[in-house]
Amino acid sequence: MKVKKYMVKNISEAMEQIRGDFGDDAYILDTKKIKKGGFLGIGSKKYVEVTVLSEKAEEKNKNFQNEYITNNANEIYSLNNMVERNKRLNQRIEKEKNKQVQDTEEPTLAQELLELIDSQREVSRTIDKDAELFYKNKQNNNFDDQLKKQEKILKSENNNPNNDLHINSKDNDLEEIKKMISQLNKNMNKNNNFFQEVRDILIKNDFSDKIVEMIYDEIQDLEINENWREDNNFILKIKNILMKNIIISEKDLEGKVMLIGPTGIGKTTTLAKLAAIAKKNNKKVAIVTIDTYRIAAADQLKIYADIMGIPAHVCYTPMDLKTTLESLVDYDTILIDTAGRSHKNDIQLGELKVFIDTVKPDFKILAISSNIKTIDAINIYEKFSIASPNALIFTKKDETSTIGQYFSLINYSKLPLLYITNGQKVPDDIKKPNISELIQEVLEEVKK
């Protein structure tokens, strides 16, 4: 028996080293996250410590994969060995699944390891039966002759009306076996390091797990290497996924337009910018505020309204708001400012819904700050869904270096993006989003 510990950045790296040292004759005893380096904890990096138990005292030759050479004898050996390894791997995985994890902080990491091994086993076990038949029949026959023989058998069986064929059943097609082996090799080869690098970059840029998986599924069939950033085919695949996860609205804001959202995201300033855009487009514009919570909120809007030469009204109750809107029926666009509501305060959200149900706005725009994480943006959307928003505005783009949250929230909410604000200047710091520019911004971050 031999116990060995590995200090790695991720599970994929650990699996490569373990296979290189022990092949398949090893058990995963423990995995845990640790920090290393830095000064007094500052600047330390996260690693995964994997403890492995080998049933054999001596490590296997790291170049054991050289046994898989292309002559006929070793082709037979490799297939035979694959079947046996798969059987042993199945036993170890089942044993690992039944083992209770003692450290409650690490089950996700352990499960990740099991799923990685299990996914590789799933590919190989589908070919065990056919591989075993193949190498037994091949021992005393020429490889090309055997291929022709197998193809004849396949044609005969496929033409037999008594065969009970199912779409998902295994067949004896040697081409399918080759594809399975190729897929197994892809899952185990060194390219996994580069795939993981791509995943890490996307997560760092605040893309949701769903979009990360969509991109990973799209690129996993590529043979990428350390120069993947210059691979046009690879970049094109990412671009196509991003295109599917961005919705831009070109509609003009007309009718009753209400801005909703949490506190401190710049709703009032954004509303003033929207009023300036509408006036520039020769719309007859009015401003109404129901923000009576924040000191000087009404005065701030009135100052903006005076500068632009448009009327401004303050309303205190739902009926007051309804009466005011009825008096402004001749206006093209009526912009309604609301008090910032905490997405954790159900009472405040309930009050907002009463206003909305009373006046039934044509646009209910959820304003989200760009400088929050995707998970927080989704939580805010979930809470404000009580108001049934039908469009998005991202504010404060100048305060963030990532925009993965844009694509992630749009993908999750299916709401179109109307505007992006990037500063405090009224009316300058607001613009219609451009799909090409947003995607290019993401690609530049990915290529860094």
- The tens digit of pLDDT for each residue in 107-160 reads 555 565 556 556 555 555 554 555 555 545 544 455 455 555 555 655 565 555
Check residue 71 and give its pLDDT: 45
The string over 125-161, giving b where at least 16 C-beta atoms fall within 10 Å of a residue's C-beta and e elsewhere, is: bbbbebbeebbeebeeeeeeebeeebeeebeeeeeee
Alpha helix (H) residue ranges in 46-127: 72-98, 107-125
How distant is the alpha carbon of residue 254 from its chain centre?
35
Pick the CATH number of 255-432 from 3.40.50.720, 3.30.2270.10, 3.40.50.300, 3.90.380.10: 3.40.50.300
Residue 54 has pLDDT above 90, yes or no: no
The DSSP secondary-structure symbol of 59 reads P
For the chain, the domains span: 1-60, 70-157+170-189, 190-247, 255-432
The rounded distance, in Å, linking the Cα atoms of 164 and 158 is 10
> Range with the lowest mean pLDDT among 6-10, 33-37, 336-340, 381-385?
33-37
> Range with the lowest mean pLDDT among 11-20, 383-392, 393-402, 423-432?
11-20
pLDDT in tens, 401-439: 899 999 999 999 999 999 999 988 888 899 999 999 999
Alpha helix (H) residue ranges in 11-106: 11-22, 72-98
Residue 260 dihedral angles phi and psi, to the nearest 5°: -125, 160
> What is the chain's mean pLDDT, rounded?
76
| CA atoms lying within 13 Å on the CB side of residue 293 | 13
Check residue 72 and give its pLDDT: 45
Distances from the Cα of 334 to the Cαs of 232, 253, 271, 355, in angstroms?
Answer: 47, 9, 10, 15
Check residue 83 and give its pLDDT: 57
The rounded distance, in Å, linking the Cα atoms of 189 and 65 is 11
